[in-house]
């Protein structure tokens, strides 16, 4: 990386109220700092974070970058990298132009004795990197406009909240009306407090009207996202919209068209239990308040045209393709239900076996079955295709769909209210999981009128009157039970898989899109920048929970929507197309979907780059580099890292991932753990996979005797699979080393999470012991 | 116009490189018009004396194939250097150490022990071992010394031009023959007669890539490779992404993966480590529901990491040999 012409470096040496000065001769440190290339000003302070900040701003005018020798920029409770960035901005400097020598957490707090030597090395390392830092590129303009995909509760809420805060929204809904499953569920559980319900006939239109009345929301119903691609920091979206045969601006929903329409068809809203006409409104309260025409069923007889009082119908209407560009995407495509026909034993083909969603509509119809039929004995079966592992019928999904127990209890409650004399049973698999105080109360109350049976239904037969169920109890006994109606609380699955794939969202094994790490702090944020996931697509949810997530997603999207720009990280990938060999390995490894192949080679869309460096370290052509984290910068640090280490001492380098392992090293100090290995140096790397085996060898060539490379623990990599990649790289390199008679003990991979500082200390101690036995690295020159 | 004066020699090599020159077809017949061959012991009747008799600096181009394994090979390489204005490293062994370089996984003691005592086909009751000097019936016989390691040519003498390949492809050889004049004049357009980009760039299967990970790695005998799709994405270690192009993808065209004979890419810091890194990054299952040991299982297909990632380049690697 090219050095900036004549960097003007300011160095702040903080004694941290004497804590650093106790073991480090800060005067010597300041003197030596002044001798370093490009240093124009050195200040010594005692209390940088609390009292000396304003002084810094004055003292360092004229500097273009600052080096702070003091506490950890990762773990300090008062002076972190964010705060330093803000300070630099106030000073008119670019936020990338600083480095920290972490003298407190990773030097004076972990060692005893005079540490001036180690502190000097750490200062030199920070300086070696800082002198070649480059400014963060300018922010990227993004469209201050959001697309919300899915008009269920989560999507509607996100759209309403974004619009209320001033962002333009396009809401795309596959069905003819807003609400999704929400408006098909007549009684909605309230999640907290006492056991209570809302009715969707009340709240669904309230929510949908808010969307419809918002001038900032453009609603596209009967529409689907055909394509979504990243382009110049934005999302370029192609939406296909079915022909609008009825103009919603003119239709007054009088229903005259449906009266004369000769074509009857199944009403999907009611799961086919009722009929609708080819031109009709599937659901009376549907919003947008308009009739729609099913193009496939319509015979174009023209009867409706004759009766429509407002001339709203146009049988020649054509489908539309809408193309637009958005800065943020909210994916709220909801759930789909497990295909119960896959559980043949449960006889779903029988009209007396219903899914949970079908039961919702039957409750809406006050338990009056369209074809007649007794509903005096109702049996619910929980875990219908959920928690399949260990079952007699191990089919369906192995996970718990979370909502079904509470929903089944609610349905039992409604059924009991509608038919007080009905016999209601509920067969549960091991346990009833009515989580939270409201749902558990529902369950306890239900014990008065529901017989709960522990067991698994293994076969369902048609009987003379209704059904005969065969059960296996936990003791292995078989039982039989007769019922009129069996309701299977079916497993839920994510919907929208095609889009999830197109967006390259990281998913779990069941195709649920995942939130990015640390997901506890970043709810609704996917692995792709500015793609937010909300509602049941992220996992089964109550309507209320989906709405909460919709709001959360809106707030996150708003941060970009309101500004119309995306601030880039100081670490962003940059491609040299001249070198690119089009092997597409970068694209394969990028966990954030920021890279795509073009005719000219790989192209990084920096507005999506999260600076993990996986691409740069995997690129065999070295066509990609990570800004402010180049191989040369790491080697520059290594070159000075061990200047003060006695020639006989093993030189141990820790390459510690940005998020977990570096923080863990800090916590050794924070927790007062002392390690004697003053010959240990650390470099805070991006993802553990931001360095490759070639660089590790270069580091060995420079004379480092042992390397510990550490990253996030399993299942917790912030960049998808970086930890596993590095574990594999190290395993291969260790194999090569062994084949060439070199001890693999010189290179260790460790999964080190933040609280695993004791393990890190142990790894350092072990490496030190190993290296003292092995002697100097035979491939290195002396440092 | 005076003819270009050239000399050729072989070191630790299989002979394929010399054959490859003869294999250019009728172009070989035109060669004498532009080239004067002053030494080529494999193909023509020359003796060591003929080489030594050439005045220093009198030869335009010296072409050497093979790695440097013995003291004789080293000595001849040095003689070539003094006789020639320009030295060409011809073939993967001369360029990078080549397949003979894989011997660097063992010390020379281990190699001799294996070759003369342990190999199952050996009968060596008298315990005969080759010696640099041995006396017999009053005569003193010498053998070239077996050096402690295999080296590439440039690790022994400065090299001016590199012609990679095991052996170099016909088109690369034609390029060399065409460029001999400019090489002799010291103004050749390229120092390495290969592409600066990876083979993937010219690979006929490049378009079939989907930028997808391969869940399983296969050893070559474990899979019948599809003849259309990118071999790497089929789970076969193909080093085309980390190897210079210029060979015409001749292995890919017969459904074999690239093994890297055209050498690593110019920006790489080590011939094998970065290929290793990339392979580790794009193969295997790494789903979070798996336990780490399961995630590592994919690497069980890598039975010989050095052989897979350094088949032609071990002497040029950062860790380039076992030390005794």
Rounded to an integer, what distance in angstroms lies between the CA atom of residue B57 and that of residue B36?
A: 15
Beta strand pairing status for A573-575 and A624-626?
antiparallel
Candidates A579, A621, A738, A777: best to mutate against B (most CBs of B within 10 A) is A621
Residue B167: cis peptide before it, omega within 30 degrees of 0: yes
Interface of B with A in 136-165 (CB under 8 A): none
Q: A747 and A707 in contact (C-beta within 8 Å)?
A: yes
User: Mean pLDDT over all residues of chain B?
Assistant: 94
Provide the shortest C-alpha distance from residue B178 to chain A (in Å): 26
| Averaged pLDDT for residues A394-417 | 96
CB B88 within 8 A of CB B159: yes
Minimal C-alpha gap between A721 and chain B (Å)? 7
Residues A39-45 have a mean pLDDT of 96
User: Nearest by CB to B281, which of A582, A589, A621?
Assistant: A589
Which chain A residue has its CA at the smallest distance from B295's CA?
A724
ipTM of the complex: 0.96
Selection from B57, B55, B115 nearest residue B81 by Cα: B57
Mean pLDDT of B291-318: 94
Residues from chain B that touch A697, judged by Cβ atoms under 8 A, are 269-270, 273, 317-319
Helix (H) or strand (E) holding A408: helix A404-418
Residue A311 reports pLDDT greater than 50: yes
Q: Cβ contact (<8 Å) for B296 and A701? A: no
- Whether the CB-CB separation of B88 and B163 falls below 8 Å is answered with yes
List the single best residue of A724, A753, A778 to mutate versus B (max B Cβ within 10 A).
A724
SS3 at position A401: coil
Nearest CB among A509, A618, A728 relative to B284 is that of A728
Do B176 and B147 contact (CB within 8 A), yes or no?
no
Q: Output the DSSP codes for A254-307.
A: --HHHHH---EEE-GGGTTSSEEESEE-SSTT-SS---EE-TTT-----HHHHH
A753-782: average pLDDT: 94
Residue A293: φ, ψ to 5°: -120, 130
pLDDT tens, A344-390? 999 999 999 999 999 999 999 999 987 777 889 999 999 999 999 98
For position A55, what pLDDT does the model report?
A: 86
Share of chain A above pLDDT 90, in %: 93
Task: Encode pLDDT of A86-101 as tens digits.
Answer: 999 999 999 999 999 9
Per-residue burial over B281-320, b if 16 or more Cβ lie within 10 Å, else e, is bbbbbbebebeeeebbebbebbeebbebbbbbbbbbbbbb
Reported as a single tens digit per residue, the pLDDT across A622-681 is 999 999 999 999 999 999 999 999 988 999 999 999 999 999 999 999 999 999 999 999
Nearest to A728 among B196, B268, B296 (CB): B296
Does B286 sit within 8 Å of A725, measured CB to CB? Answer: yes
Tokens 């141990």 sit at which residue? A652
**Closest by alpha carbon to A536, among A503, A509, A511?**
A511
Q: Tell me, what's the pLDDT at A464?
A: 85
CA distance B225 to B221: 10
Contacts A634 to B, Cβ<8 Å: none
**CB-CB: which of A582, A739, A741 is closest to B305?**
A739
Distance CA B314, CA B324 (A): 17
Omega prior to A387 cis, within 30 of 0: no
Minimal Cβ distance to B269: which of A588, A689, A698? A698
Q: Distance of CA B261 to CAs B92, B165, B196, B255, B314, Å?
A: 6, 5, 14, 16, 12
Residue ranges and CATH numbers for the domains of chain B are 4-100+149-184 (3.40.50.700), 199-316 (no CATH)
**For the segment B183-228, what is each residue's pLDDT rounded down to a tens digit?**
999 999 999 999 999 999 999 999 999 999 999 999 989 999 999 9
Residue B43 CB: number of other CB atoms within 10 A?
14
Burial A582-602 (b: 16+ CB within 10 A, else e): bbbbbbbbbbbbbbbbeeebb
Q: How confident is the model at residue A547 (pLDDT cuts 50, 70, 90)?
A: very high
Q: How do residues A159-184 score in pLDDT, each as one tens digit?
A: 999 999 999 999 999 999 999 999 99
Q: Tell me whether residues A732 and B280 touch, CB distance under 8 A.
A: yes
Mean pLDDT, to the nearest integer, of B143-148? 94
Percent of chain B with pLDDT over 90: 86
Burial class (CB in 10 A: 0-12, 13-18, 19+), A400: middle
Cβ-defined contact of A724 to B295 (cutoff 8 Å): yes
Which residue is associated with the tokens 């050497």? B64
Gap between the Cα atoms of A302 and A304, Å rounded: 5
Instruction: Give the C-alpha separation, A592 to A610, whole Å.
Output: 7
At A1 the pLDDT is 41
Q: Is A69 exposed, middle or buried (0-12, 13-18, 19+ CB in 10 A)?
A: buried
At A730, list the tokens: 């190290």
| Preceding amide of B244 cis, omega within 30 | no
User: Which residues of chain A does B299 touch, with a Cβ-Cβ cutoff of 8 Å?
Assistant: 728, 731-732
Instruction: Output the CA torsion sign for A547, A548, A552, A558.
Output: positive
Instruction: Tell me how far apart the alpha carbons of residues A686 and A691 are, in angstroms, rounded to a whole number.
Output: 8
Per-residue confidence at B1, pLDDT binned at 50, 70, 90?
low
Please indicate whether, in this complex, the C-beta atoms of B198 and A588 are within 8 angstroms of each other: no
**Between B273-282 and A693-701, two packed helices, what is the crossing angle to 10 degrees?**
150
DSSP string, A210-247: HHHH-TTEEEE-SEEEEEEEEETTEEEEEEEE---SB-
Phi and psi at A586, nearest 5°, equal: -60, -45
- Average pLDDT in the B91-110 region? 97
With CA atoms as reference, report the closest residue to A61 among A43, A37, A85, A79. A43
Q: How far is A738 from chain B (nearest CA, A)?
A: 9
**Average of per-residue pLDDT across B97-107:** 97
Chain A interface, best mutation among B195, B244, B249, B278, by max A CB count within 10 A: B278
- Of A117-131, A548-562, B193-207, the poorest mean pLDDT is in A548-562
Is 90 exceeded by the pLDDT of residue B136?
no
Strand pairing class (A292-293; A279-280): antiparallel
Catalogue all structural domains in chain A, each as residue range(s) with its CATH number.
1-138 (3.40.50), 140-241+319-334+502-565 (3.50.50.60), 256-318 (3.30.70), 339-493 (3.50.50.60), 572-626 (3.30.70.20), 629-783 (3.40.50)
How far is the C-alpha of A449 from the C-alpha of A415, rounded, in Å?
Answer: 10
User: Residue A646 to residues A65, A185, A642, A745, B17: CA-CA distances in angstroms?
Assistant: 31, 74, 8, 21, 50
Nearest C-alpha in A relative to B298 = A728
Average the pLDDT over A599-620 and give the result: 96
A321-337 core/surface letters (b: 16 or more CB in 10 A; e: else): ebebebbbbbbbbbbeb
Would you mind telling me the total number of residues written for chain A in this entry? 783
State the best of A517, A527, A581 to mutate against chain B, taking most chain B CBs within 10 Å.
A581
Q: Does B305 contact A735 at a Cβ distance shorter than 8 Å?
A: yes
| Cβ–Cβ under 8 Å, residues B99 and B152 | no
Sign of the CA dihedral B160, B166, B167, B169? negative
Residue B46 in contact with partner chain A when CB distance is under 8 A: no
Mean pLDDT of the region A217-243? 97
Q: What mean pLDDT do residues A238-249 have?
A: 96
Q: Edge-to-edge strand order for the sheet containing A65-70?
A: A39-45, A9-14, A65-70, A98-102
Q: Strand, coil or helix: what is B194?
A: coil
**Predicted pLDDT of residue A783:** 59
Q: What is the mean pLDDT of residues A331-338?
A: 97
List, in sequence order, every beta strand (DSSP E) within B130-179.
133-136, 139-142, 146-151, 161-163
Pair of tokens at residue A101: 């020598």
pLDDT score for A595: 96
Across the strands, what pairs with A280? A292
- Please answer whether residues A74 and A666 qualify as being in contact, where contact means their C-beta atoms are separated by less than 8 angstroms: yes
Residues in a beta bridge with B161: B88
Is residue A773 over pLDDT 50? yes
With CA atoms as reference, report the closest residue to B240 among B219, B265, B215, B213: B265
Count of beta carbons in the 10 Å neighbourhood of residue A646? 10
The pLDDT tens digits for A269-286 are 999 888 999 999 989 999
User: A629 Cβ partners below 8 Å, 6+ apart?
Assistant: A571, A611, A613, A616, A685, A686, A690
Q: Are A220 and A239 in contact (CB under 8 A)?
A: yes
Please give the average per-residue pLDDT across A403-430, as a whole number.
97
Interface test mutation site (partner B, options A507, A622, A740, A744, max chain B beta carbons within 10 A): A740
| Secondary structure element (H or E) that encloses residue A383, with its range | strand A377-384
> Given a cut of 60, is residue A577 above it in pLDDT?
yes
pLDDT the model gives residue A2: 45
Q: How confident is the model at residue B324 (pLDDT cuts 50, 70, 90)?
A: low
Token pair listed for A536? 């049941």
Q: Do A689 and B267 touch (CB under 8 A)?
A: no
What is the three-class DSSP state of B112? Answer: helix
Specify the pLDDT at position A12: 97
Task: For residue B214, give how far its alpha carbon lies from the nearest alpha carbon of chain A (Å).
Answer: 10
**Percentage of residues in chain A having pLDDT higher than 70:** 99
Which residues of A fall within a CB distance of 8 Å from B317?
Answer: 697
**Residue B274: closest C-alpha in chain A:** A694
């Amino acid at each position: 990386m090219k050095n900036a012409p004549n960097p003007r470096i300011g160095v702040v040496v903080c004694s941290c109220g004497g804590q650093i000065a106790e073991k480090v001769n800060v005067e010597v440190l300041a003197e030596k700092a002044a001798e370093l290339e490009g240093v124009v000003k050195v200040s010594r302070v005692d209390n940088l974070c609390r009292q000396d900040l304003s002084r810094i701003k004055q003292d360092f005018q004229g500097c273009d970058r600052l080096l702070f020798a003091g506490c950890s920029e990762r773990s300090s409770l008062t002076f972190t990298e964010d705060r330093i960035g803000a300070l630099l901005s106030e000073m008119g400097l670019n936020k990338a132009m600083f480095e920290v020598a972490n003298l407190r957490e990773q030097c004076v707090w972990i060692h005893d004795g005079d540490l001036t030597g180690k502190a000097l090395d750490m200062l030199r390392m920070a300086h070696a990197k800082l002198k070649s830092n480059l400014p963060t590129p300018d922010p990227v303009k993004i469209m201050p406009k959001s697309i919300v995909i899915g008009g269920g509760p989560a999507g509607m809420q996100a759209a309403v909240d974004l619009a209320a805060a001033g962002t333009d929204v396009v809401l795309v809904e596959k069905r003819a009306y807003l609400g999704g499953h929400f408006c098909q569920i007549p009684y909605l559980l309230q999640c907290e407090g006492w056991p209570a319900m809302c009715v969707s006939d009340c709240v669904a239109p309230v929510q949908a009207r808010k969307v419809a009345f918002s001038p900032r929301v453009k609603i596209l119903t009967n529409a689907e996202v055909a394509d979504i691609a990243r382009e110049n920091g934005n999302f370029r979206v192609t939406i296909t919209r079915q022909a609008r045969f009825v103009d919603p601006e003119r239709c007054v929903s009088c229903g005259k068209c449906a009266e004369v329409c000769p074509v009857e068809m199944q009403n999907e809203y009611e799961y086919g239990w009722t009929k609708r006409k080819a031109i009709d409104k599937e659901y009376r309260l549907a919003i947008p308040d308009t009739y729609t025409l099913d193009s496939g069923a319509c015979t174009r007889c023209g009867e409706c045209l004759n009766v429509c009082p407002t001339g709203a119908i146009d049988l020649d209407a054509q489908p539309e393709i809408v193309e637009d560009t958005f800065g943020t995407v909210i994916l709220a495509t909801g759930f789909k239900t497990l295909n119960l026909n896959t559980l043949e034993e449960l006889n779903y083909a029988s009209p007396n076996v219903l899914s949970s969603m079908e039961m919702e509509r039957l409750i809406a119809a006050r338990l009056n079955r369209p074809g007649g039929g007794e509903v005096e004995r109702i049996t619910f079966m929980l875990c219908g295709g959920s928690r399949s592992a260990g079952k007699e019928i191990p089919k369906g999904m192995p996970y718990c769909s979370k909502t079904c127990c509470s929903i089944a209890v609610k349905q039992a409650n409604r059924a009991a209210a509608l038919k007080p004399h009905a016999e209601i049973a509920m067969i549960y698999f091991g346990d009833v999981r009515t989580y939270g105080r409201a749902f558990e109360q529902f369950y306890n109350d239900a014990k008065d009128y529901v017989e709960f049976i522990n067991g698994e239904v293994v076969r369902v037969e048609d009987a003379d009157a209704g059904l005969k169920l065969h059960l296996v109890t936990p003791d292995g006994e078989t039982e039989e039970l007769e019922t009129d109606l069996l309701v299977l609380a079916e497993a839920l699955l994510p919907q929208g898989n095609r889009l999830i794939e197109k967006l390259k969202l990281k998913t779990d094994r069941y195709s649920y899109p995942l939130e990015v790490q640390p997901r506890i702090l970043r709810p609704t944020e996917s692995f792709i920048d500015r793609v937010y996931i909300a509602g049941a697509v992220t996992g089964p949810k109550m309507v209320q929970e989906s709405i909460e997530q919709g709001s959360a997603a809106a707030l996150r999207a708003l941060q970009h929507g309101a500004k119309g720009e995306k601030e880039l990280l100081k670490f962003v990938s940059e491609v040299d197309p001249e070198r690119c060999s089009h092997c597409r390995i970068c694209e394969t490894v990028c966990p954030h979907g920021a890279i795509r192949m073009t005719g000219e080679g790989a192209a990084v869309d920096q507005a999506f780059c999260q600076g993990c460096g996986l691409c740069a370290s995997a690129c065999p052509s070295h066509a990609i580099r990570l800004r402010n984290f180049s191989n040369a910068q790491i080697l520059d640090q290594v070159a000075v890292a061990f200047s003060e280490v006695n020639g006989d001492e093993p030189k141990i380098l820790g390459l510690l991932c940005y998020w977990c392992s570096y923080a863990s090293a800090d916590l050794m100090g924070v927790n007062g753990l002392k390690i004697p290995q003053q010959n240990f140096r650390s470099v805070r790397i991006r993802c553990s996979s931001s360095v490759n085996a070639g660089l590790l060898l270069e580091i060995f060539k420079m004379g480092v005797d042992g390397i510990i490379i550490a990253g996030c623990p399993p299942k917790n990599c912030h960049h998808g699979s970086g930890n596993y990649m590095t574990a594999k790289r190290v395993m291969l390199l260790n194999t090569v080393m062994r084949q060439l008679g070199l001890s693999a003990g010189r290179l260790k991979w460790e999964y080190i999470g933040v609280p695993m500082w004791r393990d890190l200390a142990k790894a350092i101690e072990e490496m030190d012991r190993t290296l003292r036995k092995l002697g100097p690295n035979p491939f290195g020159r002396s440092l | 116009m005076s003819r270009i004066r050239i000399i050729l020699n072989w070191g630790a090599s299989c002979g394929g490189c010399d054959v490859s020159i003869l294999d250019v077809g009728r172009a070989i017949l035109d060669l004498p018009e532009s080239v004067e061959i002053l030494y080529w012991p494999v193909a023509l009747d020359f003796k060591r004396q003929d080489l030594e008799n050439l005045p220093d600096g009198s030869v335009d181009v010296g072409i050497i194939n093979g790695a440097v394994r013995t003291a004789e090979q080293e000595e001849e390489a040095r003689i070539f250097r003094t006789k020639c204005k320009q030295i060409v490293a011809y073939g993967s062994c001369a360029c990078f150490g080549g397949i003979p370089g894989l011997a660097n996984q063992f010390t020379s003691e281990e190699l001799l022990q294996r070759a003369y005592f342990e190999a199952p086909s050996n009968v060596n009751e008298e315990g005969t071992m080759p010696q640099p000097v041995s006396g017999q019936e009053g005569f003193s016989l010498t053998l070239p010394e077996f050096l402690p390691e295999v080296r590439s040519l440039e690790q022994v003498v400065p090299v001016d031009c590199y012609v990679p390949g095991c052996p170099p492809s016909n088109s690369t050889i034609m390029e060399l023959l065409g460029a001999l004049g400019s090489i002799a004049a010291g103004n050749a357009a390229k120092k390495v007669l290969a592409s600066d980009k990876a083979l993937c760039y010219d690979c006929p299967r490049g378009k079939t890539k989907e930028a997808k990970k391969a869940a399983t790695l296969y050893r070559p005998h474990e899979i019948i490779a599809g003849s259309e799709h990118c071999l790497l994405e089929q789970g076969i270690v193909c080093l085309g992404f980390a190897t210079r192009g210029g060979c015409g993808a001749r292995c890919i065209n017969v459904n074999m993966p690239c093994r890297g004979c055209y050498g690593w890419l110019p920006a790489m810091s080590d011939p094998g480590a970065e290929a290793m890194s990339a392979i580790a990054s794009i193969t295997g299952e790494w789903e979070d529901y798996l336990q780490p040991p399961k995630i590592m299982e994919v690497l069980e297909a890598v039975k010989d990491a050095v052989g897979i990632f350094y088949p032609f380049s071990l002497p040029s690697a950062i860790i380039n040999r076992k030390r005794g």
